[in-house]
Structure 1
Amino acid sequence: MSFPHFSRTLPHRALRRALAATLAAFALAGQALAAFPDRPVTLIVPFAAGTTPDIVSRLLAEAIGRDLGQPVVVMNRVGASGIIGTQALIAAPADGYTIGYANVATLAINQSLYKKLPYDADRQLAPIALTGSVQNVLAVRSDLGVQDVAGLIALARKNPGKLTVASGGNGTTGHLSAEMFKSMAGLAIVHIPYKGGVEADLALLRGEVDLVFENTTSIAPHLKTGKIVPLAVTGAARDSRLPTLPTLAESGLPKYQAVAWNGYVAPAGVDPKILDVLNAAFNKALRTPAVKQQLDAQAYDVHVGPRQDLFDLAQKERPVWAEAIRHSGATLD
């Protein structure tokens, strides 16, 4: 016995059910996007509390939280040049509710500093925003007897291997900024790593080392002591907070440029529309006069732009830092 009517209509019913399920899924996805965020967002900072990454992130978290209508809670996951926090971010659900701080270290330096980096930034992360940068300052102890970059280069050439440069650790922008300087000027200066930028600055203040490359935020308060003489900044342009200081490019090294830039990322797979919401929130915060004023106090140069700016900069800078690492011989694994 056959049931022609039943056999013809069954596929149509299955098709209708499948279509209905698909439309329902699209509706739910649209509702979820329209409601984003409907609960707090976690911001992972893979560096210690009280550092420039932490200070900047907490300031921006408060501002974007107001714009999004939900708290943005900062969580510090410290260790291994940002690797621990980056891995924690990659392991989080790709729903936009966990985002992370990323910088020149996690997106550009680590790629050459570690032979076996346990994450692939291009494949496992998605850019949200490039938010800005901080320059380094080349400074010397006051009793070294030099007042400009040319004088430092001349002294180093007369005393190869006798001058010392402190940094906040192997592979930091302070260390690699010094390596770029040594390479371009053809100098032999001994690198002495400390546990952090604060310790490196104090070593210079105490006269234990001869020079340092340290970010403007950290070193600026020490310039008032008279024990440190700033010679130049490391960026492409002068710093408005230290307008009398030339760039290293102006000081005889025309190709020199090194800044500590940063931004924010999400796990790969987050809906691009959610990433656009987050990018708009960051850009709005960075345009806010009160936020800009506070960031300026941190010697932070703001960048506002599309999401891809962050990864475009990382791709551009990786070979620059790779060369500095090659020159230094530094490796962390």
Structure 2
Amino acid sequence: MSLFSVSVSTSRRLLLKGLAAPLAALALCSQAHAAFPDKPITLIVPFNAGTTPDIVSRLLAESVGRDIGQPVVVMNRVGASGIIGTQAVASAPADGYTIGFANVATLAINQSLYQKLPYDADRQLAPITLIGGVQNVLAVRASLGVKDVAGLIALAKQQPGKLTVGSGGNGTTGHLSAEMFKSMAGVSIVHVPYKGGLEADLALLRGEVDLVFENITSIAPHLKGDKLTALAVTGAARDSRLPKLPTLAETGLAGYQAVAWNGYVAPAGVDAKVLDFLNAAFNKALASPLVKQQLNAQAYEVNVGPRQQLFDLAKKERPVWAEVIKASGAKLD
């Protein structure tokens, strides 16, 4: 079962077929548009080097570049919750030689978080592929004495406005995962933003905050000690690395789902045959056992499927995040 729900079921069928479909699609697209690519491709990542988006993109860039015979060069364009890098992709020439990393923030959250965006995802971007995602873990400081989600909700209701939840900043999936939890559980918990997820994790370890909703990759190493207690995961299915942890939906918050999914986009207007070529190339890389193994080590669940999956998921989640943002009062300018 996937950790996030996608309306198109093709991804699982392609995964079962392994490399056959991506290889065939890549061959057909290459024949149909033989001139592409004849020079390096730039892959803009709107987040810092060393973050999960950067690590995943560099891994895939190496695999795709090796397969298509041209380098895929990762360029970090950081700032404003991914807006700067996304705008750079949207304004690039529509020739397929500039593509970009896109995620739940740039395609679904920012539309409600900011009063005005300098890009229109639907009109200025074209989907290449949905590549997968990472879910968050709800963890509390062990000294809080809470053993499960029901206990946390009960404590929060006994002490409204007393508990604190740390996050990597306003508008992050960690922050909005918490806001969704607060709304669905009917509790009041104070949000404390930090400059990044690592800082929020360290604050929890120091006892400065009571809980976090943090990326599995970054929080997992801290769960091995006795300072933190993990209560649940935020996706639609349990995580294979932490199989004993229930999903929040399983604990009674029916319909709860918050996943940091992502994919790749190109400027609108890129030839459909080029987009299909890139989709097939990324699907082939994602279907590679070695790449999947490396991504799984990052607590990353891989998705293989058609281009439109990415925008289908974004459009499905926008109203969900809009409601969460409205209820929380979170806004950025």
Provide TM-score, normalisation by structure 1. Answer: 0.90
Please give the alpha-carbon distance, in whole angstroms, between the structure 2 residues aligned to 1:201 and 1:89. Answer: 32
Deviations 1:8-53 (A, max 9, x none): xxxxxxxxxxxxxxxxxxxxxx999312111111000000011111
Residue 177 of structure 2 aligns with which residue? Answer: 177
- Would the alpha carbon gap of residues 72 and 168 (structure 1) be closer, same or farther in structure 2, given more than 3 Å must change? same
Deviations 1:107-141 (A, max 9, x none): 00000001111110000000000000100000000
Tell me if 1:87 matches 2:77: no
Please give the alpha-carbon distance, in whole angstroms, between the structure 1 residues aligned to 2:268 and 2:301. Answer: 27
Residue 56 of structure 1 aligns with which residue? Answer: 56
Please give the alpha-carbon distance, in whole angstroms, between the structure 2 residues aligned to 1:252 and 1:282. Answer: 37
CA shift, 1:225, in A, is 2.1
Residue 116 of structure 1 aligns with which residue? Answer: 116
Tell me if 1:267 matches 2:283: no
Residue 11 of structure 1 aligns with which residue? Answer: none
Please give the alpha-carbon distance, in whole angstroms, between the structure 2 residues aligned to 1:275 and 1:165. Answer: 41
Residue 74 of structure 1 aligns with which residue? Answer: 74
Higher RCO, 1 vs 2 (CA within 8 Å, ≥6 residues apart): 2
Residue 308 of structure 1 aligns with which residue? Answer: 308
Please give the alpha-carbon distance, in whole angstroms, between the structure 1 residues aligned to 2:140 and 2:31. Answer: 58
**Structure 2 residue identity aligned to 1:135:** Q
Please give the alpha-carbon distance, in whole angstroms, between the structure 2 residues aligned to 1:57 and 1:206. Answer: 32
Q: Which runs of 5+ in 2 are unaligned?
A: 1-29
SS of residue matched to 1:35? coil
Please give the alpha-carbon distance, in whole angstroms, between the structure 2 residues aligned to 1:31 and 1:90. Answer: 27
Pairing 1:292-331 to 2, within 5 Å after superposition: 292-331=292-331
Deviations 1:143-172 (A, max 9, x none): 100110001011111110000000000000
Root-mean-square deviation over aligned CA pairs: 1.2
Give the number of equivalent residue pairs.
Answer: 304
Please give the alpha-carbon distance, in whole angstroms, between the structure 2 residues aligned to 1:150 and 1:61. Answer: 43
Deviations 1:266-309 (A, max 9, x none): 00010000000000001000100000000000010111000000
Deviations 1:54-92 (A, max 9, x none): 111111111111111111000000000100001111121
Please give the alpha-carbon distance, in whole angstroms, between the structure 1 residues aligned to 2:230 and 2:126. Answer: 38
Residue 33 of structure 1 aligns with which residue? Answer: 33
**Structure 2 residue identity aligned to 1:245:** L
Please give the alpha-carbon distance, in whole angstroms, between the structure 2 residues aligned to 1:315 and 1:117. Answer: 16
CA shift, 1:221, in A, is 1.0
Residue 107 of structure 1 aligns with which residue? Answer: 107
Residue 24 of structure 1 aligns with which residue? Answer: none
**Structure 1 residue identity aligned to 2:48:** A
CA shift, 1:255, in A, is 1.5
Please give the alpha-carbon distance, in whole angstroms, between the structure 1 residues aligned to 2:32 and 2:85. Answer: 27
SS of residue matched to 1:126? strand
Residue 13 of structure 1 aligns with which residue? Answer: none
Residue 279 of structure 1 aligns with which residue? Answer: 279
CA shift, 1:252, in A, is 1.2
**Structure 2 residue identity aligned to 1:85:** G
Among all aligned residue pairs of Structure 1 and Structure 2, give the percentage whose two residues are the same amino acid: 83
**Structure 1 residue identity aligned to 2:70:** Q
Residue 199 of structure 1 aligns with which residue? Answer: 199
Please give the alpha-carbon distance, in whole angstroms, between the structure 1 residues aligned to 2:327 and 2:125. Answer: 29
**Structure 1 residue identity aligned to 2:272:** P
Please give the alpha-carbon distance, in whole angstroms, between the structure 2 residues aligned to 1:241 and 1:32. Answer: 42
Provide TM-score, normalisation by structure 2. Answer: 0.90
Q: Which runs of 5+ in 1 are unaligned?
A: 1-29
CA shift, 1:317, in A, is 0.3
Bigger CA radius of gyration: 1
SS of residue matched to 1:34? coil
